[in-house]
Structure 1
Amino acid sequence: MGDNIRYKFDYLIDKGFYWSIGLRSSFSHFNKNITASLLLNDTEIDAMGLNKIGVELQDQTNQFYLQTLFRKDFALSIGAEHKRLEITSETLATNNVDEEFVFENTDYFSFYSNLKLDTYDDKYFPKNGVYFNGDLHWYLYASHFNKTFDAFSIAKADIGYAFSITDKLAVNLKSGGGFKLGDKTTQTLDFALGGYGNNLINNFVPFLGYDFISLTGNSYVKAYAGLDYNWLKKHHITLEANWANIDDDIFDTGEWFTLPDYRGYALGYAVDTFVGPIQVKYSYSPEQTKGFWYFTLGFWF
């Protein structure tokens, strides 16, 4: 509850190795200055002279899915999804000065599949384990507001490995990436890097050293390395770094295999409490003229 209200509902009839039946619904809302390239093409950005746009974003996602265990450790899900996406702005003018400019007011319908493995011993400060999460969405239909819609798919995957050097020192290595297949005109569901978080909507990806939704494109690759020093019980000092390439069609141009265009580093302190971790991080990127502070309070949901 608060200025940016949200909810998440998940109900699963768990049948173990048989097909389980699940129903999931979530709603997120926020106001934020975001990079204009998530909403406009290069020609429109140049003509308007925009860098960032202040928007209000509302996302409601409803899913019906079937889930089973695959090779004992992997959770395999297949399902259908309805997504209601609304994006408005007071930055751009309309014919009626009292009206907001509407970028999105669309219902999207898709089928999806997901394969997940998670053996981390801790969600927030893992010392051992592996992680894999692969997702494929087929967007087949959009309501009339998106008049240029044509079917497309978005594939993405993340993989991680955590191990301990000593009883107090652990390393977490991760990599991830994603790309779009088919129609490229629907930009609002493209990938957007920036900020810090564990549960971001759509294809928003955390990236230390940058503000939330700062880097956009229809494909990306990212690498991450984190060092966690648990110097006192429930007290952690963290040192983190991430690198990425993101743009349109980087897997076609070969850009994904070049040196990273974007880098970010962060030093943090965390206390693991009964309401979840309390964390503060200071991040810096060589490409940026300023650093960013990230604060988190309690469990992510």
Structure 2
Amino acid sequence: MNNVAGKTYKGFDQKLSLLVQILSKCRCSLWICDQNTYWLYYIFPTFWASAIRGVQIFLVTVHSIEPKEKYRRWLLKQIGVEIYVTSSLPFNGFLFEQDKDTRLALVSDKEEAVNFYLNYTEETGRVYSASSDAQVIQNFWNYLEPWQKQVSSIELKQLFFQTCSETEIFDKLRCVEQYKYAKFSLQIIDINNILLLQRYIKEYKLNQVNQMITNLYTPGGFELFEPLKLTFDDGTYSIITPPVLETKGEKLIVIEGNTRIFYCWQNGLSHIKVVVVDNVEESLPGEPVSIKNANLTSVTLPLDSLIHKLDRQKFRRIEEKIHL
């Protein structure tokens, strides 16, 4: 993890990119100090992969009644994260590998970074390492000492993957406003002639797709990207949605899963499993582009820059409905 030591970030995407890099190599422990877990939806695959590997994860946070935040914390608990609630936080960041010489800290520079209403393009921070910032690292760990004293023995959660039925996926997709009268089918498609809704692909998401294929689909013997469930030890689960494409005339447009499709195109994986949605009367939420014209980016971009001519009222809230 030395290759990220001393690096700085500006904006949400660069922060997530560093988190994915560091956490994918983390082997022992992670402590998080943050007011809300807004970042979890974006990098959840990296988190559950770490939990399966045996990384012990702890979250120090403040009380919240916000529904999405409560759901994210439920997800964290389901993969084995210990959560401590307090009245105020000493800093905003992530501490890795407490008892190792490879200790790292990814910490925000700004107090406002913990605010729900922060413009995340403005957030800045840096990675500190034990080799060059030993005292700074120790100071961050000292802040968390009251909660570290509460840690008892932790049992690893039993997490496993299984296929998810078409019916369950389709029933949830019908809750998307634009799909009330649509028809759904699970198909294996050739990706070479499809269009993307996003014209920019985020680098950290591309790295996560590679991790998912390497650590989940290939060793599990699953087809790319058949519907799956991450099942928790109490029988509850979280659905891993296939890419979702809509038909418009003779064309197929990727609505959900732009990064997965782009990854497959880059790596010569031309046939994958997707959900195809027919009979959508609502026009698209933006102007699609050829997959050949999509570009990678590490810069934090607003949604209306990712999607050309975005109409937010027509945006399909697929992941939100899948995880209700």
> Shorter-normalised TM-score: what interval?
under 0.3
Structure with higher RCO (Cα < 8 A, 6+ apart) = 2
More helix by share: 2
TM-score (norm 1): 0.25
TM-score (norm 2): 0.24
